[in-house]
Amino acid sequence: MSTPPPPLRHRGRRSRAAFTLVELLVSMVLLVLVVAIVLQMSDQTGRIWHASAAKIQSFQDARAGFEAMTRKLSQATLNTYYDYYDASNHPRAPLTGSNLANFTPTRYDRMSDLHFISGQAGTLLKDSSPPIVTQTHAVFFQAPLGYSVSYQRLDNALNSCGYFLQFDDASQMVPDHVVKTPGYQPRYRYRLMELMQRTEQSGIYDPAAKTPNSWFTDNAGTSSRVLAENVIALVLLPKLSPREDDPGLQGKGVSIAPNYNYNSRVALGATNDDSWPGATPAFPPDSFTTYPSDGTTAQASRHHQLPPTMRVAMIVIDEASATRLQGGSANVPTAIDLHATGLFTDAANMSSDLQAVEDICSAKPGNLTGNRQRLTYHVFNTEIIMREAKWSND
């Protein structure tokens, strides 16, 4: 005997418990919206992650270059000794023949065959061959770095070294097969350059040098390598310790290099540094006044002395920002051209000048170059001790 069908009211209840077509369509629309939102969030997260990774990598390379530069700079030396000077403050060391026979010593003072010089890069490299497009500061010195091909076991052998910014396409560092590749586009950038001469090639002892500065002016454009990309400012400030030159007193802590320029080869007793005629700002004379923290004043000499400390700052932008600024142009972008800004010429204003460059990178209204594009940037800033400095006010 077959079972009778359920009452109609039971079948009606079961049909009311099912989803209608409208409900299914609404559910599908909501599901599509949720999936779209999740995909969009995932895409944005991926973009942020890749951009952050690129920035981190860019600034990691710049940090490595900054640390390498400051480490080598802290090892700069003059290896001074003492020699006789005559009444006109001319040293005995370079004299020969009758000039040496007629030399009359009147004092005993410092002497060095080595050289430490820092200051406005446009001044220091104006006679470079080939010409170098640069800005802000540069420094050149000797240090016992032991870089040599011929003398492998002389770990403390001297090398001539230097750091400066150069704007070009770095074509000399790109392999020929890359340059000749169809579609190759040169990348014009400001880069931190390192001059490093091997011990056996150091121009500091070259008897045929045209000028006392030829050891770096004749080699900066040919014996340098890229240390960091997209460096738009390099600032180098020689300093005394706060105890010897109090920042709160009249000298503002920058008495040794009030305009950043410093030349260890300034002549003894010179009232003008004639080795850099026409330099703007001028290289300072030998003697200067310091303002120790005890409230007194003291006279000091720059002649054949290393500054005891150096404040070093570097401002870097990332590659994405540099690409937006540069495009396909071979000229320095106006946004990061600091030549006409007047920055980094008065050492007392170093902190405010660094802030002015940050304002440029942040596209702050009224910034000095009129930049309107926000740039991703990083500021490296430190103060190093010059380990070989044997500073004396005598």
Q: What is the 3-state secondary structure (H, E, C) of 284-332?
A: CCCEEEECCCCCCCEEEECCCCCCCEEEEEEEEECHHHHHHHHCCCCCC
139-146: average pLDDT: 95
Instruction: Please give the pLDDT value at position 36.
Output: 86
242-290: pLDDT as tens digits: 999 999 999 999 999 999 999 999 999 999 998 888 899 999 999 999 9
Residues with Cβ within 8 Å of 120's Cβ and at least 6 positions away in sequence, in order, are: 136, 137, 138, 260, 261, 279, 280, 281, 345
Neighbours of 99 (CB within 10 A): 11
32-44: pLDDT as tens digits: 889 988 888 877 7
> Residue 203 — pLDDT band, cuts 50, 70, 90?
confident
Q: Residue 58 above 70 pLDDT? A: no
Instruction: Please give the pLDDT value at position 10.
Output: 52
Distance CA 298, CA 375 (A): 45
215-232: average pLDDT: 93
> Residue 176 — pLDDT band, cuts 50, 70, 90?
confident
User: How far is Cα of residue 364 from the mean position of the Cα atoms in its chain?
Assistant: 23
> Residue 50 — pLDDT band, cuts 50, 70, 90?
low
Cα separation values, 314 from 160, 165, 311, 392, Å: 22, 10, 10, 29
Q: Residue 120 above 70 pLDDT? A: yes
Q: Residue 392 above 70 pLDDT? A: yes
> Residue 338 — pLDDT band, cuts 50, 70, 90?
very high
Distance CA 217, CA 275 (A): 13
169-193: average pLDDT: 82
| Phi and psi based region of residue 243 (left: phi greater than 0; alpha: psi -120 to 50; beta: remaining) | alpha
> Residue 189 — pLDDT band, cuts 50, 70, 90?
very high
Distance CA 150, CA 132 (A): 30
352-368: average pLDDT: 97
Average pLDDT, the chain: 89
Which residues of 29-114 form beta strands (DSSP E)? 81-85, 107-111
Domain spans, the chain? 55-85+107-385
Instruction: Please give the pLDDT value at position 51.
Output: 61
> Residue 97 — pLDDT band, cuts 50, 70, 90?
confident
Residue appearing with tokens 């802590």: 253
